[in-house]
Amino acid sequence: MSFMRLLTQKFELPTAAEALPGRADPYRPGVRHAIFDRPLDGPRPAGCRQVLLGMGCYWGGERRFWSLPGVVLTAAGYAGGHTPNPTGAEVASGRTGHAEVVAVTYDPAVLPLAALLLHFWEGHDPTQGMRQGDDIGTQFRSLLLLPDAEDLAVAEASRADYAAALKAAGHPRAITTTLAIDTRFYLAEDYQQQHLARVPGASCTTKGCGVPARPRSASGEAVT
């Protein structure tokens, strides 16, 4: 990797050839979920689905979702890049291509994906590119990874609705969130998991644009 590439790695994603090699073995968590008391790498409950949400620092993102009715598990980790089974330090280097994400496992009969995504859009600023506030780097980009084309279509409609809401509110920037079909997820280290629940006084400054995300009506039209 060239010197100039090193200087820009916080703002440009590495290619697969430039990315760190990683390792074959996944990280095995030594803790259970601090809120749900479930294993972080256990089987998904029947009927539940998972979405990967990159919204800046995963501490605040995870806290936002673990209290929602219908969410049965959350986990902090890494996704969207090239390096298999990366460490947190490797992701922070900008040389894996991964973002910090929250894996949210939810029951769609209780919390449909479209409703869950309203909290995603409101919980961070999806217009900042490779940063969230004072957190600068590719690992803090806005990212939304779905398991299949059906969920991707729901997410694309949700993004369009929030883009329209931002425009109507006079927000000066366009959404930079990347959407893709991708289920690869790598757990972060134990001390990162449910960090704001485990560590007294810990905080996360990630915040939204202050523009409400509006649900769609029963007919499928965006509510204005």
Can you tell me whether residue 211 is helix, strand or coil?
A: coil
Distance of CA 98 to the CA centre of its chain: 11
Structural domain boundaries of the chain? 30-194
Pairing type for strands 131-132 and 135-136 reads: antiparallel
Q: What is the average pLDDT score of the chain? A: 93
**What region does 165 belong to: left with phi over 0, alpha with psi -120 to 50, or beta?**
alpha
Tens digits of per-residue pLDDT, 150-161?
999 999 999 999
Distance separating alpha carbons of residues 83 and 87, to the nearest angstrom: 9
61-113 confidence digits (pLDDT tens) = 999 999 999 999 999 999 999 999 999 999 999 999 999 999 999 999 999 99
H or E, element range at 102: strand 99-106
Give 39's DSSP letter.
Answer: B
CA–CA distances in Å: residue 128 to residues 38, 53, 84, 94, 136: 34, 15, 27, 17, 10
The predicted structure's pLDDT at residue 2: 46
pLDDT for the residue 10: 76
Of 193, 190, 196, residue with least CA distance to 28: 190
Beta bridge partners of 142: 55
pTM, two decimals, is 0.93
Its CATH class, for the domain covering 30-194, is alpha beta
Catalytic residue ranges: 57
DSSP symbol at 177 = -
Cα angle 113, 144, 220; round to 5: 35
